[in-house]
Every structure is written in structure tokens, then in C-alpha cells.
Structure 1
Amino acid sequence: MKKLLATLTLALAFIGCGGKKESNENTLYIYGWANTIPQSIYEAFEKETGIKVVEDIYSSNEEMFTKLKAGGNGYDIVMPSADYVEIMMKEGMLEKLDKNLLPSYSNLDPLVLEKLHHFDPENNYEVPYLIGATIIAVNKKYVPEFPRDYSIYEMSNLKGRMTLLDDMREVMTSALGMLNYPQTTEDEQAIAQAADLVKSWKKNIAKFDAESFGKGFASGDFWVVQGYPDNIFKELDENERANVELVIPEKGGTAYVDSFVMLNSAPHKDAAYKFLEFTLRPEIAAQFADLLETPSVNAPARELMTVKPLFEISDLKNVQVLRDIHSTLDLQNKYWQEILIAD
């Protein structure tokens, strides 16, 4: 999940940076996002199985991948977003799952699984636990009328009151989508056109911001922000939420699917399978979704949720999940650097 770098409070013991893990068969080592899995889930799993879960935290997919490639070992389960599941598959880092050991896999929504078919057509390498969207949040008190896509950033009357993510993949993918190009395009002319579009947006934004957009929106400094729903809505009370329009653009919109994956070097694979099957139970999956106010990827779990999600799975039907673009990453980054220094 795309998360903000914040103070990391671990629910369980913190492991050192890539040191050798103890080989106790009753211990499971997870490397994951902060504040994503409720501590109660780990506690319930340990009470039921006797297997203790020990968790390390990362703040970005890039941080996780770099650590593992540099020799961080001993982990059993990692929690990457879809583009990094794709990368890790290609790098031969992941265990092909034995679905005979995961009888509850059928609880997962086919729409969610389909989002991953471009690189894993049979969903053999991941157990999705979260789907989310990159949204445009609009404060209706100040912006009563607006287009429901990224052309909102062409509204010069909102100059200085809008932000875009400081994230090349998010912004460039949205610009390419607005121009009807796929995010994987290798056509430099298309990428250059997308960069020109972003430059036109840049003239109206206050800044590119991947850290404080939620707080800036809540304070009223910004009226339109591109960001992630949990980072925005957690800053707002119920009255403030009533003034917010959450826009998931069908054109240029992006989504993320985060999954549990098992490393092929996992030392505790039996324990890992037990944990994965545990998370596929509807009553457990509902807790993930309730924490982040997202729709559950687990269809039966939706009946057990106690928190109304900020959007529905059906809202994500036409949005793109970010993909591995290794063949054009340097090219896109070249144009992104031009965007950053442009007037």
C-alpha cells in the first residue's frame, strides 16, 4: 500500500535490519506495512495455533525490495503492492502457492483477482488482502462544481489550492490515461505528451506532496488533493467528511492491490500457509477492511464489516492497477525530472 512515512509503532517485536532470524518452527516472520494488520489478528492466530508472529515494518515497496535484494533474509511473508509482486515474480523470489492448502482462497472477489491477471493469470503467487484507490478529494464548500477526472487540475481559478502526489508513477500514469495511453507505453512521444500535460497541471498546484496532503486538506489550506483515502479521511471528523467529494476517476484513475506473498526462501512455510488460510476467513478479512475503511477483497467478509467503506469495489472496475514498467522507467523518470524543474 502506498503509505506516508510516519512514526512506526510496532504491534509486536521489532526485528533488526536483515539479521538472521531464529529458526523456531513456532515463529512466523512477516515484513509488511505499518498500521495495516490489527494486532488482534496476530494475537488470535497465536492463540489458535501457538505460532508467534514477529513483524518488521517498511514504509515503501522500494525499501522492502532493496532490503530483500541486499540479503535481508529469514522472512516468510511479505506484503507488496501489485507492481512489486510482478517484479518479485520475475526475479524468482516468490513461492508458487499450493492452493490445496488454501481452501478459502475461493472467498476472494474475482474482480480483484482479475486486476492481477496481466502478470499472474492463475493467481498462483499472491493472496490479496487489500484493494484501494488513488483518489482526488475535493472540498465542496469551496469547489461546488468540477470535472470528475484530472482535468480539474486545469482549473486556473483553483491555482495554489491544489496538490498532486510527489510520485512519478501515480502522476504520469494518470496523465497517460487522460491521453488514452497505457501506462506501459514505450512510445516516447506519448510519454512526452503526458509530461506536457502534467506541466500544465503544475502551473495550478501549490506543490507535489506525498507527505502532508491529508493534513493540508483537513486544515483548508488545499481544496483539491490527489492522495489515498485513509490518509485523507483519518484527518476529518464526521461533519468535515460530509463536505468532501471522493472522486475515483474512470479516466486516468489508479488503484492498488496489496497481497500476502510467500518468499521462496521462507524458512517456515507450514506456518506461513496456516497464516494465509487464517487471513482468508471472512471474520478475519473483515477486520483488515474495517481498519482502513476499504471494501473487503473477501466477498463473504463484507457482510461482517462494522465500518462502512469509503467506496465500493464496483467503483474500481475501470481503474488501472500500477504495473511494472521496467522497460520505460528511466524514460519516464527523465521526463519527470523535467517536470520538477519546469516553471
Structure 2
Amino acid sequence: MNRRFKTIGCAFLCIVFILYSLITLAACRNKQETVLHLYNWTYYTPDSVIQAFEKKYGVKVVYDDFASNEDMFAKLMAGSKGYDLVVPSADYVSIMIKLNMLEPIDISKIPNIRYLRPEVLSRIDYDPQMQFSVPYYMGAAGIAVNTKEVGDYERSWNIFERKDLKNRMTMMDDMREVIGAALGVLGYEPNSTNPEELEQAYRLIQNGWKPNLVKFDADGFAKSFASGDFLVVHGYAEAVFAELQDDQAQYVDFFIPSGIHSPLYIDSFCIPKGAPHPELAYAFINFMLDPAIYAEFLDTFGFPSSIHTEAGNYQKKQPHYTLDDLKDCVLKKDLGVNLELYNSYWQRIRFTP
């Protein structure tokens, strides 16, 4: 009898264990179904905003980051799948549309799209009806100067010709930004594919700017600027000010040269082809465009409200530059087959003494 009861007891425990395992497995499956996979630039959405979205919708956000459009594009082209949202810049949105890499956008599912500035939308000639992309932010790189160490200076790209600042300056390790700036200084468009204009830009960089630079740097320039090693750096305001102590910021002048067609970027939300959770992607885009939420994003990075009509009313911090500072900038566009021409010049700039 005892043996029989033991057998029944063991069987009962086995059934309980199996049922528990099935319930646990189902719960895990449900959790997997409520994960938004976001592929975005390194720290380009505040943690507080992501946490607020997770709490509101009862989901988990997995944030994978990239440092350049090229890295993002290469990963997706190599077959990486599972992302619900990706945030490329305008020139790569154009490329991805042509390659059929993006799902069509149903803007009726994004009511907060009404807050986007019409003048920004008019720049988006690569996707004028927002069929495949929704703008996230519009901005430009600029120049930061340590005013404690650098006295009189011209608020222009010509500062990189200053021989007295040799080996205390850096420019971005970014082909489109540097060549685009040189083209702008010469009075040309940052998207020029004219070989003669590109040759002139190359000579300006190679003979006028590069001899005074420590290096072309896309990663550590902000830390070295904050430490005082570099006195003038070309880069994004949010990167520069993120490394500064509160008492240092008063000695920094960040500017985007006026009267020059400097390169402009627009980063946009896109839903990759075959995204597992498109409805959650729509929810995230709409959430981000809520005026109060978008203002939190702007304040975190010191951005002006460049694409949003209402978020500026909710901002609590002074931005590092203004919307007016962007008026002369020109949007970087897909160069098509002429990208190789830029690459050839950039290789010469980077690796020729």
C-alpha cells in the first residue's frame, strides 16, 4: 500500500511539474511577444523615456546601438533580422527605400505626427509623403571652442586654418561631414558630385585644415576636449556637453557657422521589412512625438525643437544651439554611384601625409 501511494504521489508530482513548466514556458513566450527591438544611434533616446514607454505599454524595449549609418546598413544587409524600429539618416533612408528594406508607414496610426513642422517635411524630398519614414530629429554638427584658452577667433570653419592651434584641434572622422563642410566654405553644395569642386574641397582639407589637426576623431574628441587636451573640436553638441562638468560649460562656445551651406542631418524612424511587432513600433513613434515626451528627449541632449511644433513649450533647459542656426544648412542626401568618388577622396585625406 505504501509503495502504491508513493507511486501515485510521484505521478502527481510529475504532473504538477509538467503543468508548471508549460505555464512558465507560455509566460516566457508572452514576454517575448511584448518586446520592442529598437536599433538606434548610441544613446539617442533617454533611458527615462524608454522606461516610461515600458511602463505605459507593459512591454520591454531592447536597445541595440550603432555608431554610424554604415555600421547599421551593413548589419541589416548582412541579414540581421528581428528589429521593429531602426533610425537611419536621410541619405540612408533613401538607399533603404530603393532596396525595398522598409515596410510602408501607415501614418493614420501615428496621430502625433500632426506636430511635425511643415517646413521640415518640405526638405524630405526622398520620402515626401512619409511613406517609409517619420522624422525623429534634425540637426547639424558644429564647432566647440574652449574660450578660456582660445582668445579672438572667427566663428567659422576657417578656425581650422589656425597654425597657432596646431595639434590642439580635431575634426570628425566622417567623410560626409568634413568634405561637406569644405564644399560649403567654397560656396558649393555639401552634396556636390562635381569632380572639380570636390578636388578644391580636397585641397582645402588636405592643405588648409589637416596640417593643424591632431587627428580625425569620431569617438574620443569630446572627452579630450573636456580634459583640455583639445581646444577646438568639430562634432555634435550633445557629445561635447555630455562630457563637461557644470563649471566648464560657461567656457565653451558651440556654433554652427552661419552663411555657409554646412551639412544637415535628419534622422528618422523606419520599420524594417519583416519587423515582428509593427504595431508596437507605431506605438513607440507616437509616444516619442508626444510634446512632453519629446521635450524630455530634447532637454536630455540640449537640442532645439527643430522638427516639433509644440515640444519647445515644454522644454525646461536652454538648447546648445537654435533652430535659426540651422537655416543655412543643407540636408545630406544619397550620393548614389558618386559615393565612390567621395570615398576615394576620403582615403587620400585620411591616409596621405
TM over 0.5: yes
SS in 1 for 2:131: coil
Alpha-carbon spacing, 1:32–1:75, altered in 2? closer, same or farther (3 Å): same
Q: Tell me what 1:157 maps to.
A: 164
Q: Is the 8 A contact 2:170 2:213 kept in 1?
A: yes
The Cα shift of 1:60 comes to 2.1
**Matched residues in 2 for 1:238 and 1:295: separation?**
20
**Matched residues in 2 for 1:328 and 1:235: separation?**
36
Q: Tell me what 1:81 maps to.
A: 89
Q: Tell me what 1:29 maps to.
A: 37
**Matched residues in 2 for 1:29 and 1:322: separation?**
27
Amino acid at match of 1:59: A
What does the per-residue CA deviation read over 1:253-290, in whole Å, with 9 as the maximum and x for residues that have no partner? 22322221112321222222222212111111112112
Q: After TM superposition, what 4+ stretches of structure 1 lie above 4 angstroms from structure 2?
A: 21-25
Alpha-carbon spacing, 1:240–1:50, altered in 2? closer, same or farther (3 Å): closer
Q: Indicate which of 146, 149, 171 corresponds to 2:153.
A: 146
**Matched residues in 2 for 1:287 and 1:142: separation?**
33
Query: Could you tell which deviates more after superposition, 186-195 or 290-299?
Result: 290-299
| Identity %, equivalent residues | 43
Alpha-carbon spacing, 1:141–1:101, altered in 2? closer, same or farther (3 Å): same
Q: Is the 8 A contact 2:167 2:212 kept in 1?
A: yes
Amino acid at match of 1:130: Y
The Cα shift of 1:23 comes to 9.7
**Matched residues in 1 for 2:304 and 2:117: separation?**
11
Q: Is the 8 A contact 1:184 1:328 kept in 2?
A: no
Is residue 320 of structure 2 the alignment partner of residue 310 of structure 1? Answer: yes
**Matched residues in 2 for 1:215 and 1:256: separation?**
23
What are the within-5 Å matches in structure 2 for residues 1-343 of structure 1? 25-115=33-123, 117-199=124-206, 200-250=208-258, 251-296=260-305, 297-343=307-353
Q: Is the 8 A contact 1:27 1:52 kept in 2?
A: yes
Q: Is the 8 A contact 2:295 2:312 kept in 1?
A: yes
What does the per-residue CA deviation read over 1:115-156, in whole Å, with 9 as the maximum and x for residues that have no partner? 3x2312223322222233211111222322222221112222
Unaligned runs of 5+ in 1: 1-20
Amino acid at match of 2:300: L
SS in 2 for 1:172: helix
**Matched residues in 2 for 1:245 and 1:326: separation?**
36
Unaligned runs of 5+ in 2: 1-28
Q: Is the 8 A contact 2:36 2:60 kept in 1?
A: yes
The Cα shift of 1:319 comes to 0.9
**Matched residues in 2 for 1:43 and 1:292: separation?**
17
Number of equivalent positions = 322
Alpha-carbon spacing, 1:156–1:260, altered in 2? closer, same or farther (3 Å): same
Q: Is the 8 A contact 1:76 1:268 kept in 2?
A: yes
Alpha-carbon spacing, 1:329–1:140, altered in 2? closer, same or farther (3 Å): same
The Cα shift of 1:168 comes to 1.4
SS in 2 for 1:129: strand
**Matched residues in 2 for 1:211 and 1:281: separation?**
31
**Matched residues in 2 for 1:22 and 1:205: separation?**
54
**Matched residues in 2 for 1:141 and 1:134: separation?**
22
Q: Is the 8 A contact 2:49 2:297 kept in 1?
A: no
What does the per-residue CA deviation read over 1:29-55, in whole Å, with 9 as the maximum and x for residues that have no partner? 221223222233233323333333233
Query: Could you tell which deviates more after superposition, 193-202 or 324-333?
Result: 324-333
Q: Tell me what 1:5 maps to.
A: none
Q: Is the 8 A contact 1:215 1:235 kept in 2?
A: yes
**Matched residues in 1 for 2:31 and 2:199: separation?**
51
**Matched residues in 2 for 1:95 and 1:261: separation?**
8
Alpha-carbon spacing, 1:238–1:73, altered in 2? closer, same or farther (3 Å): same
Higher helix share: 2
Alpha-carbon spacing, 1:221–1:43, altered in 2? closer, same or farther (3 Å): closer
Q: Is the 8 A contact 2:149 2:231 kept in 1?
A: yes
SS in 1 for 2:102: coil
